[in-house]
Structure 1
Amino acid sequence: MDVRVGAGAPPDPFLGAADLLATEHDLDRPVRVRVRDDPDERTWTAHYDDHHVLNISRQAATSAMARELALHELAHMVRYEQGHASHTQSTDEALFLALSGRDVERRKLTHCYQIANHMRDIYADDITLSVAPAAKLVQFLESQLAAAVADAPGPGPTGAAADSRRVSVGADPDITAVNAAFALALVERHGLIDAEHRLYDLARAAAADAPTVGMETFKRLFRTLGEDPSESDFRRDLVTATREYALDAGRAAD
C-alpha cells in the first residue's frame, strides 16, 4: 500500500493505519495525505482516477486520534474501490427522490447530507473495527457527544451541523440526536459497550433536547444496515432516513 504524507504531520500515524488495514485489506490506488491548517476540517477523502487523497487538519494529524482517523478514511477508500453501494450511490439522487416536490429548510437539507455520511461511516467502520481495537473510538464518540450535548442550546433549530467526527459551536439539538443514534448504532452493531455505558445517558439527554427527532428510529436504521446492499437497497435506506428526518421530524418521535 502506497501512502505518502505531505509536510506538516508526522508520518507514523498514517503508516501505522496503513499497516493495520493491510492485515485484512489492500488499496490498488496510492494515497496522498494532505495536511490542512483549518482545525475544523477534521478528515475527509477524495477519490481520483489514479489516486486517493486523505485530507486532514494539522490539529487532527498531530492528535492522539490521528491513527484512528486515518484508518477510518482508508476504510472509506477500500469501500470506494470495492464499488460498495454506500460509496457509489449518489446522495443528490437519493435526496431528490426523497424530497421532490417538498419544501425543506436549508438547515434540514444540510443535515440530510450528514445523515448520508453517517450511513457511509457505518460501512467504513465495519472495516476499521475488524482490524483495530475499539477502545479509543468509543472514547472519542463519547467525548464528541458529551461536548455536543453540553453545547446544545436546547430544543429548536439553532446552531450548525455536527457529526460524529465534527462538533460545531452551538451544536444543533436535532442533528446531535441523530449523531447520538449513530454512535449507539455503531457500538451496538459491534457489541462494544454494555447497557450501563455513559453513551446511553448522553444519548438520552440528546434525545430529550430534540423531542421531534426519533433517536431510537435512527439508531435502529443505522444499526441494521445490510452488510452488502445493492444500490437499490442503499438508495431505499437513504430515502427512508431522509424522509424520516426532513419530513417526519415534526411529529412526536418514537
Structure 2
Amino acid sequence: MDVRVHGSVPAGPFLGARDLFEHQYDVEKPVHVRVREDPDERTWAGHYDDRHVLNISRRAATSVMARELALHEYAHMARYEGDHVSHTMGLSEVLFLALPGRRVERRVLQQCEQLANHAKDIYADDITLDVAPTDKLLTFLESQLAAAVAERPPADTEPAGGYRLTAAADPELTAVNAAFALALLERHDAVPADHRIYEFADLADADAPGVDVAWFKERFRTLADDPDESAHRHALVDLVRAYVDAHETTTGPAAD
C-alpha cells in the first residue's frame, strides 16, 4: 500500500495502520491522507480513478483513535476496490422500493442514508476487526453512545469518524445507532454481556419507543458476508421501511 500523508501531523498512525492492514489485505490505488482544519470534520474516504483520499480532521489525526480510524477507512477502500455491493449500491432505488407512494419528512429521508452507511461500516469493520484488537473500538463506541444519549456532543473529544453516533441525531436515529453499535460488537464477539454499553442502548431504546432496537440490532448483526445485489437491496429496503415507520408521516416531499 502506498500511503502519503499531507499535512503537519504525525504519519506514524497512518503508516502503522497500513502495516497492520497489509498482513491480510491490500489497497491497490495510492492513499492520500488529507488533514482538515475543521475539528468537526467527519473522517471519510473519497474514491477516484487514480487514488483514494482519507479525509480527517487534525483533532482526529492526532487523537488516540487515529490508527483505528485509518484502519476503518482503509477497509472501506478495500471494499470499494473489491466492488462489494454495500459500497456500490445507490440509495435512490432502495428508497423507491421501500416507500412507494409515501410522503416522508425530508430530514427522515436524509437520515435513511445513515442506515446504508451503517451497513457499509459493518462490512468495512468485518475487515478492520479481522486485523486489529477490539478494545479501543468498544471504548470508543461506548463513549459516543453515552454522549448521544445524554444529548450533549463531547466538546473535547475527537469527532466520530466513520461511525455516526453523536448527539446531533433525534431519538429515533440515536436508537438505530445504538443498535448498530451493539450489532457490530456482537458480530465479532467484542463485547461482554454485562458491559455498560447495553445500559446506554436501553436508554436510547426507551427514548424512542417507535424503534425496535433489538430488531435493528439483529438485522445489522446478521448481514450476509457477501450478499448479491438482490439480497442486499432487500436488507436495506427492510431497514429503511422500518425506520420510516418509526416516525409519524407528515407533509413533505414525496419519497420518490
| TM-score for the superposition, normalised by structure 1 | 0.91
CA distance in 2, matches of 1:57, 1:28: 24
1:57 aligned partner: 57
CA distance in 1, matches of 2:15, 2:148: 31
Q: Is the 8 A contact 1:17 1:68 kept in 2?
A: yes
1:236 lines up with 2:234 in the alignment: yes
Which of 240, 244, 247 aligns to 1:246? It is: 244
Shift of 1:106: 1.4
CA distance in 2, matches of 1:38, 1:214: 35
Residue pairs, 1:1-254, within 5 angstroms: 1-151=1-151, 165-168=163-166, 170-250=168-248
CA distance in 2, matches of 1:164, 1:214: 24
Q: Which amino acid letter does the alignment assign opposite residue 221 of structure 2?
A: R
Q: State which drifts further: 94-103 or 231-240.
A: 94-103
Q: Is the 8 A contact 1:20 1:131 kept in 2?
A: yes
Unaligned runs of 5+ in 1: 153-161
Relative contact order higher in (CA < 8 Å, ≥ 6 apart) = 2
Q: Which amino acid letter does the alignment assign opposite residue 102 of structure 2?
A: R
CA distance in 1, matches of 2:67, 2:120: 19
CA distance in 2, matches of 1:164, 1:61: 13
Shift of the 41–235 alpha-carbon distance from structure 1 to 2, 3 Å rule, reads same
Shift of 1:168: 4.8
Three-state SS of the structure 2 residue aligned to 1:188 is helix
Shift of the 171–248 alpha-carbon distance from structure 1 to 2, 3 Å rule, reads closer
Shift of 1:20: 1.0
Shift of 1:92: 2.2
Number of positions where the alignment pairs a residue of Structure 1 with one of Structure 2: 242
| TM-score for the superposition, normalised by structure 2 | 0.90
Shift of 1:51: 0.8
Q: Say what the alpha-carbon RMSD is for the aligned residues.
A: 1.7
CA distance in 2, matches of 1:40, 1:236: 33
Shift of the 163–131 alpha-carbon distance from structure 1 to 2, 3 Å rule, reads closer
Q: State which drifts further: 109-118 or 89-98.
A: 89-98
Q: Is the 8 A contact 2:45 2:76 kept in 1?
A: yes
Q: State which drifts further: 102-111 or 62-71.
A: 102-111
Percent of counterpart pairs with the same letter?
62
Three-state SS of the structure 1 residue aligned to 2:103 is coil
Summarize deviations over 1:4-41 as a string: whole Å, max 9, x none: 01013211111111111101101111101111111222
Q: Is the 8 A contact 1:163 1:179 kept in 2?
A: no
Q: Which amino acid letter does the alignment assign opposite residue 74 of structure 2?
A: L
CA distance in 1, matches of 2:93, 2:161: 22
Shift of the 142–64 alpha-carbon distance from structure 1 to 2, 3 Å rule, reads same
1:157 aligned partner: none
CA distance in 1, matches of 2:138, 2:149: 16
Q: Which amino acid letter does the alignment assign opposite residue 20 of structure 2?
A: L
Unaligned runs of 5+ in 2: 153-159, 250-256
